[in-house]
Structure formats: structure tokens, C-alpha cells
Structure 1
Amino acid sequence: MKINYSPSKNAFYEEEHKERYLLSGSWPGDLIEVSRDDFIEYGGNPPEGKTRAPGPDNKPAWLTIPLDFVEQAKAENKRHTDEANNYINEQQWPSKLMLGRLSDDEKLLFNKWLDYLDALKEIDVSGAPDILWPTPPAEPAS
């Protein structure tokens, strides 16, 4: 099995699927053949603090993620978390829940916001800047 790497796409392409890529117009023009060992090493999850990117020879390499990306992601995560907590507190859901004054609709929405907070807590900022942030729940129409 011949494996290629595209520096511009930062992705691997198997030669046996070339026809499908060509039909969809997604076969890159800058492919470099790489060994199976390179594919195994660089095709999986990166070590902590690293990201896959083209190296000096345009082959895949683990590059250190600049600390500023990680710090920015931590700050963004804190901002999202603070905004969610502020929204929850503005609705007074924790107090209303304790007093049994939360409607069924409010309970459902409160749970969605708690799920959102859980998703934020699970974010691995070492993957910065390539982080897929969760979407906060939509506010109900008034």
C-alpha cells in the first residue's frame, strides 16, 4: 500500500483510493510518498504539546505548539465557562432548583447548559489552535 502525504493539506492519502479522490476533485498536487512507519507515527494522536505539520523536508513531523496558542485557548475556555455560569446564575436556576421552583422546561434548558459546561471542561487545550469548541444551547424564543 503506497501512502502519500500532502504538506498543503497536512493529511495522508492512500494511493489505492486515488480514483475516488480524483473523482471528487480532492487529490492534492503536492503529494510526497511516505513510509508506512511515517504513517503509523504521524497518523495518530500527537504527543502532548505537539501538532502534526510539514517539516523542513515537507514530510510530516511533530512540531511544538507555541505556548501562546495554548494560553489563548485556556483564556477562551475560561471566557466561555464564565459566560455560561453567568447565564445560569442570571436565570437563578440553582436556587430555583433547590426550592423546587424550576419548571420542566427550565430544567431541560438548565441541563443543556450543564452539558455545555461539561463539554468545555473536557476540552484539551493542548490541541490549540485546532479546537472544535462546543456550541452553547440556544435561548428559547420569548
Structure 2
Amino acid sequence: MSLVELEKTIVECKKCERLVDFREKIAREKRRSYIDWDYWGKAVPGYGEPDAKFLILGLAPAAHGGNRTGRVFTGDKSADFLFRCLHPVGLANQPNSDHRDDGLKLDGYITPAVKCVPPGDKPTAQEKENCEPSWRKNFCF
């Protein structure tokens, strides 16, 4: 399976009913400050270089970060912190990750362990288990 095929499989996943319901609810209801955004509202694949020098495995997309933008560690406080750290050491071409088309380039690959935003930022053990094969496949690239 290629990385493109893996990402397509992830985006189309509806295996965890609780997560699908929650991610779609967040995408419909939106935060007031992002009311004009078209929320992603789907499972969030990883991003970066397939022949990465490093892999960052996050827990899950943020409700109004990755679930909004379609890219993990994007458009939220965790992204602000992470890219302010990666940029000065040359692992990212810019100190920010604001949206999918912001020009960000990495020398690594970032992926969430759980591909959908979980209620209360707490995925269940079964939800983690359901997503495990997809993030493990990232090690193959």
C-alpha cells in the first residue's frame, strides 16, 4: 500500500461510531471564531516526507485544529508550540502551521495515533486499537 492509498483509507474510515459522530458534530457546530471555515470533519492522516528523518506520533487531532484544518498539529496551540521548536533547528521551513495550504514543509512525518478527534480528548482503548494499524504503517515509508 502506498502512502497516498493509506491516507485515502484513513480519510474514508468510519470504524469508530463515537468518533465519527463527534468529529462531524464539531464540524457542523463550529467554534464562533472559525464560523466561516469549512471544517474538515473527517479522519486526519499524517503529513510530511515519506522518507522522513523523524516521526512525531501525536495522540489525536484537536477539535478546532486538525478536525478543522484536516492536518494534525495545525491551527491550534499545540501547533504553535511544536513548530516554534522544529523551525529553529531546521526540521520545518517555517515556525507556524496554520492551515493545509500554508506552505509548511517538514524533514519528518507527523501523524496522530488516533485519527479522529475524541470527546474530551480521551479515546477509548478500542478506538486506539482500531487506529493502530494505520499509524504503524507509517513506519514502512
Q: Of Structure 1 and Structure 2, which has the larger fraction of its residues in strand?
A: 1
Q: Of Structure 1 and Structure 2, which has the larger fraction of its residues in helix?
A: 1
Larger gyration radius, structure 1 or structure 2: 1
Shorter chain as denominator, the TM-score bin is under 0.3
TM-score, with normalisation over the residues of structure 2?
0.23
